[in-house]
Structure 1
Amino acid sequence: MLDFAIFAVTFVIILVGAVLYLYPSSRRASGIPGFNPADEKDGNLQDIVNRGSLHEFLVSLHQEFGSVASFWFGSRPVVSLGCVEQLRQHINPNHTTDSFETMLKSLLGYQSGIQSGVSEAVMRKKVYETAINNSVKNNFPLVLKLVEELVGKWSSFPDDQHIPLCAHLLGLAMKTVTQLALGERFKDDTAVISFRKNHDAIWSEIGKGYLDGSLEKSASRKGHYEKALSEMEAVLLSLVKERKAQRKQTVFVDGLLQSSLTERQIMEDCMVFTLAGCVIAANLCIWALHFLSTSEEVQDKLYQELEEVLGSEPLSLDKISQLRYCQQVLNETVRTAKLTPVAARLQEMEGKVDQHVIPKETLVIYALGVILQDSDTWSTPYMFNPDRFEEESVRKTFCLLGFSGNQTCPELRFAYTVATVLLSTLVRQLKLHKLKGQVMEVKSELVASPKDETWITVSKRN
């Protein structure tokens, strides 16, 4: 079983940068068929930019060269795997660190996550995951309350009012993540709005500006990014000191404070969770409601399950595992939307896939967006069909890709919890309707999101 976290997916471009920085000796060609470097200095960088995203570039790469293919990032070869069978073969026995931490903290300039030893990295990962799980458990009623407030607002709208999913659900994700991660200071909407401003400024440059070098070429953009990052760090450090003095044990940061981590390390982990948690949770909810709005049949089937399992009672944490069809809906949402289209691992030891030898310290990309819509793996791959996950073989494939099971990252598990609360509350009260003529275009970047605002309408259930 491949042991890569879905965490790595969202920051693959940053991992490329980390590999270039941390492993300057890995310059051997792989001998695997693929694109020749278009430029001696940049390799295939401009080809990726021209395609619009790394995912679209990988689609064309695997269409031309098959399931194991290569390209160049700068003067270094990169191997991409675009088939389930090849992923099964790519096992990295010496993998011990979390590549998400390496990627994101490399970009942010945080060295503690990169330079720490194996035992510290394992300890920090365990502390991080436990803190998220405990925060959800301790604050589940708060998640319910925030969702009920949003659904109540939607219920007050007339049937023909257009609801902007991106704006509303990013707001929900931001409120949920900040309060569960950082505490009651963020019950104040003013604090959330200020936090969101800096969050958006940082996230908008992660990956994008690094990929095409545009951040370094624009003094104004770089200044805006650095200012937002500095302000976010100051807020988080202040909050760490505040929570430490109060000795509370209710939210994510409190869990970190119970460990031996320094205040700086706790701030870094809070930055990681708030950056990634908001975006992943928001986009999972956006896509789930979009797909539900296109299928009355799926909505009705989900409604029946909710009525049978919950009746008129609100969702509780222990009931989530009983909502099997809801889980299928969310799994199919992740698959159809290609929510996280790319993941990566560093080849820490020389490996082999089929007849191809992959040299040590080669960057290996998992083209998940390609695999998630591979007709050899999925029947009718472009159709939203939650029923496909009734088959055990389909569930095993999904687990292999890192989207379920023990290898699912805590941020995605957190997003599934928020989305389950949203669906269980919303679908029992309202029906969702897609706007006629609306075309849903996708930005397949680090996390797949709608290219433009997405609108739906709702009507009350009889």
Structure 2
Amino acid sequence: MLDFAIFAVTFVIILVGAVLYLYPSSRSASGIPGLNPTEEMDGNLQDIVNRGSLHEFLASLHGQFGPVASFWFGGRPVVSLGSVDQLRQHINPNRTTDSFETMLKSLLGYQSGMGGGATEAVMRKKLYESAVNNTLEENFPLLLKLVEELVGKWKSFPKDQHTPLCAHLLGLAMKAVTQLALGDRFRNDAEVIGFRKNHEAIWSEIGKGYLDGSMEKSSIRKEHYESALAEMETVLMSVAKDRKGQRSQTAFVDALLQSNLTERQVMEDSMVFTLAGCVITANLCIWAVHFLSTSEEVQEKLHQELEDVLGSEPVSLDKIPQLRYFQQVLNETVRTAKLTPIAAQLQENEGKVDQHIIPKETLVIYALGVVLQDADTWSHPYKFDPDRFTEDSARKSFSLLGFSGNQACPELRFAYTVATVVLSTVVRQLKLHQVKGQVVEARSELVSTPKDDTWITVSRRS
């Protein structure tokens, strides 16, 4: 999944410099059905903006033209795939190993690790994954402590008090990611607050400002973004310097420092993990808790699985794989929320999907938000139903899309671990309830994010 999660803005950066000033010619997008350009300079960019998000635009596009459709960005045709069958045809021969890292680093203007060949790319990926796994193993007690603190706070609330999900779970994600990735310096609340300020400034522009070009039109916003990025880089370089030479590898950055990476590479990998890790972890937890609040039945099934697998013991890293229903709940959370609705690949060589030829160097969109709610793939696609993942076909489709199995990126695996700790701690001690009359809407950005005024109420288990 996250191999492609940041496409929604990165494709703009990749293409703008090359095609913004090219006149959209009358040629079709390789005979693939789709939209003609509506503007000479920008192709269908204004159509995307008018729809409110790239996901909504793609949903409309595929609704009109079918599972393989095209549109224009500048003077260049783009192909979008909107069904599992078509994605399977394209992914199998075209899977790359480092699309997420490459695209996010391109967005941030980073170059290291992007041109070293396939061998170096594989080694870097293994190092990155190993660093994440080691971080979870070394810091699992700390993660439990952070979650217990939050749940203890929720337990102290009166029964009818509204609990703000976004604020609390984003705060938890920020603490967890910074302390596990960067070390005990971030046990200081002031350090976390400073990190959060810069993180929000960077991510808000990555998620929104590039797609419609609005950041480039505002010198104030651009200056604010660049200042936040520079400050974040300075902090990460300082962390690496302070922790260099440590024998133990208790944090993500320590594992990177024990490798052959340069200081710059360590900083960049730390930036990728902390930027994406905070947002993915927070929103997976927010959506999961929200969906649980809508189903007492799912809460009770989770509670029973905890009794069966753990008894009275706390959740542990080695027991998490045995919590199969928890995995189903998180899979269904990702699917129902369309956690990352867009993905992409650059067609390196000429390819074919169905009868359609995709020329070399064509940008191919994976319309994951469309596929995740496709009625031909998922029965009752808009219903939150974790039991659907008892079926092999559902698990295989989910894995194909990159949301589970070997193709799931380290940030997502980290987020699943944190979310499992959150849900297991919550359902053992509390019952979650919807706020009556509340309509939860998502901001369709780089990652599907509930609007800030998303609330629940809680009550203690008897």
Per the TM superposition, whether the score is higher than 0.5 is yes
Q: Following the alignment from structure 1 to structure 2, what is the Cα–Cα distance between the partners of residues 186 and 402?
A: 32
- Please name the residue that 2:7 is paired with: 11
Shift of residue 428, structure 1, vs aligned partner? 0.6
In structure 2, relative to structure 1, the CA distance for the partners of 1:23 and 1:92 (3 Å cut) is: farther
1:177 aligns with 2:177: yes
- Please name the residue that 1:85 is paired with: 85
RMSD: 1.8
Q: Following the alignment from structure 1 to structure 2, what is the Cα–Cα distance between the partners of residues 346 and 309?
A: 44
Shift of residue 247, structure 1, vs aligned partner? 3.8
Q: Following the alignment from structure 1 to structure 2, what is the Cα–Cα distance between the partners of residues 294 and 35?
A: 39
Task: Tell me if the contact between 2:347 and 2:359 (Cα under 8 Å) persists in the aligned partners.
Answer: yes
TM-score (ref. length: structure 2): 0.96
Q: Following the alignment from structure 1 to structure 2, what is the Cα–Cα distance between the partners of residues 296 and 62?
A: 35
Q: Following the alignment from structure 1 to structure 2, what is the Cα–Cα distance between the partners of residues 46 and 22?
A: 18
Deviation sequence 1:329-349 (CA, Å, 0-9, x none): 111100000011111111111
- Please name the residue that 1:209 is paired with: 209
Shift of residue 155, structure 1, vs aligned partner? 0.7
Task: Tell me if the contact between 1:55 and 1:444 (Cα under 8 Å) persists in the aligned partners.
Answer: yes
- Please name the residue that 2:415 is paired with: 415
Q: Following the alignment from structure 1 to structure 2, what is the Cα–Cα distance between the partners of residues 405 and 16?
A: 29
1:201 is paired with a residue of what secondary structure?
Answer: helix
- Please name the residue that 2:307 is paired with: 307
Task: Tell me if the contact between 2:351 and 2:358 (Cα under 8 Å) persists in the aligned partners.
Answer: yes
2:405 is paired with a residue of what secondary structure?
Answer: coil
Shift of residue 231, structure 1, vs aligned partner? 0.4
Q: Following the alignment from structure 1 to structure 2, what is the Cα–Cα distance between the partners of residues 105 and 252?
A: 18
Q: Following the alignment from structure 2 to structure 1, what is the Cα–Cα distance between the partners of residues 419 and 264?
A: 31
Shift of residue 19, structure 1, vs aligned partner? 4.9
2:31 is paired with a residue of what secondary structure?
Answer: coil
Q: Following the alignment from structure 2 to structure 1, what is the Cα–Cα distance between the partners of residues 95 and 85?
A: 20
Q: Following the alignment from structure 2 to structure 1, what is the Cα–Cα distance between the partners of residues 367 and 143?
A: 33
Task: Tell me if the contact between 1:11 and 1:207 (Cα under 8 Å) persists in the aligned partners.
Answer: no
Q: Following the alignment from structure 1 to structure 2, what is the Cα–Cα distance between the partners of residues 99 and 17?
A: 15
Deviation sequence 1:227-270 (CA, Å, 0-9, x none): 10010000000111111143431110011111111000100000
Q: Following the alignment from structure 1 to structure 2, what is the Cα–Cα distance between the partners of residues 191 and 337?
A: 31
Structure 1 spans left out of the alignment, 5+ residues: none
In structure 2, relative to structure 1, the CA distance for the partners of 1:223 and 1:20 (3 Å cut) is: closer
Q: Residue type of the partner of 2:208?
A: K
Shift of residue 445, structure 1, vs aligned partner? 1.5
Shift of residue 101, structure 1, vs aligned partner? 2.0
Deviates more, 1:110-119 or 1:416-425: 110-119
Q: Following the alignment from structure 2 to structure 1, what is the Cα–Cα distance between the partners of residues 172 and 364?
A: 35
- Please name the residue that 1:57 is paired with: 57
Deviation sequence 1:143-174 (CA, Å, 0-9, x none): 11100110011111111111000000000000
Q: Following the alignment from structure 1 to structure 2, what is the Cα–Cα distance between the partners of residues 378 and 230?
A: 44
2:114 is paired with a residue of what secondary structure?
Answer: helix
Q: Following the alignment from structure 1 to structure 2, what is the Cα–Cα distance between the partners of residues 188 and 39?
A: 51
Q: Following the alignment from structure 1 to structure 2, what is the Cα–Cα distance between the partners of residues 13 and 222?
A: 15
Q: Which runs of 4+ in 1 moved over 4 A?
A: 19-25, 94-97
Shift of residue 367, structure 1, vs aligned partner? 0.5
1:317 is paired with a residue of what secondary structure?
Answer: coil
Q: Following the alignment from structure 1 to structure 2, what is the Cα–Cα distance between the partners of residues 187 and 286?
A: 23
Provide the identity percentage. 76
- Please name the residue that 2:381 is paired with: 381
Q: Following the alignment from structure 1 to structure 2, what is the Cα–Cα distance between the partners of residues 138 and 23?
A: 47
In structure 2, relative to structure 1, the CA distance for the partners of 1:217 and 1:22 (3 Å cut) is: closer
Task: Tell me if the contact between 1:15 and 1:102 (Cα under 8 Å) persists in the aligned partners.
Answer: no
1:406 is paired with a residue of what secondary structure?
Answer: helix
Structure 2 matches for 1:50-449, cutoff 5 A?
Answer: 50-91=50-91, 93=93, 96-449=96-449
Task: Tell me if the contact between 1:30 and 1:357 (Cα under 8 Å) persists in the aligned partners.
Answer: yes
Q: Following the alignment from structure 1 to structure 2, what is the Cα–Cα distance between the partners of residues 21 and 7?
A: 23
Task: Tell me if the contact between 1:42 and 1:74 (Cα under 8 Å) persists in the aligned partners.
Answer: yes
1:260 is paired with a residue of what secondary structure?
Answer: coil
Task: Tell me if the contact between 1:345 and 1:364 (Cα under 8 Å) persists in the aligned partners.
Answer: yes
Deviates more, 1:7-16 or 1:43-52: 7-16
Task: Tell me if the contact between 2:8 and 2:211 (Cα under 8 Å) persists in the aligned partners.
Answer: no
TM-score (ref. length: structure 1): 0.96
Shift of residue 311, structure 1, vs aligned partner? 1.5
Q: Following the alignment from structure 1 to structure 2, what is the Cα–Cα distance between the partners of residues 215 and 109?
A: 16
Q: Following the alignment from structure 2 to structure 1, what is the Cα–Cα distance between the partners of residues 306 and 430?
A: 13
In structure 2, relative to structure 1, the CA distance for the partners of 1:317 and 1:326 (3 Å cut) is: same
Deviation sequence 1:397-451 (CA, Å, 0-9, x none): 1111111111001101100000000011110100000000000011122100112
1:428 is paired with a residue of what secondary structure?
Answer: helix
2:210 is paired with a residue of what secondary structure?
Answer: helix
Deviation sequence 1:169-189 (CA, Å, 0-9, x none): 000000000011000000111
Task: Tell me if the contact between 1:82 and 1:371 (Cα under 8 Å) persists in the aligned partners.
Answer: yes
Deviates more, 1:108-117 or 1:351-360: 108-117
Shift of residue 125, structure 1, vs aligned partner? 1.4
Deviates more, 1:365-374 or 1:443-452: 443-452
1:111 is paired with a residue of what secondary structure?
Answer: coil
In structure 2, relative to structure 1, the CA distance for the partners of 1:435 and 1:48 (3 Å cut) is: same
Task: Tell me if the contact between 1:332 and 1:386 (Cα under 8 Å) persists in the aligned partners.
Answer: yes
Q: Following the alignment from structure 1 to structure 2, what is the Cα–Cα distance between the partners of residues 214 and 233?
A: 24
Q: Following the alignment from structure 1 to structure 2, what is the Cα–Cα distance between the partners of residues 447 and 368?
A: 12
Task: Tell me if the contact between 2:6 and 2:104 (Cα under 8 Å) persists in the aligned partners.
Answer: no
In structure 2, relative to structure 1, the CA distance for the partners of 1:196 and 1:224 (3 Å cut) is: same
Shift of residue 88, structure 1, vs aligned partner? 1.1
Deviation sequence 1:271-294 (CA, Å, 0-9, x none): 000000000000000000000000
Task: Tell me if the contact between 1:398 and 1:404 (Cα under 8 Å) persists in the aligned partners.
Answer: yes
Q: Following the alignment from structure 1 to structure 2, what is the Cα–Cα distance between the partners of residues 435 and 98?
A: 41
In structure 2, relative to structure 1, the CA distance for the partners of 1:422 and 1:286 (3 Å cut) is: same
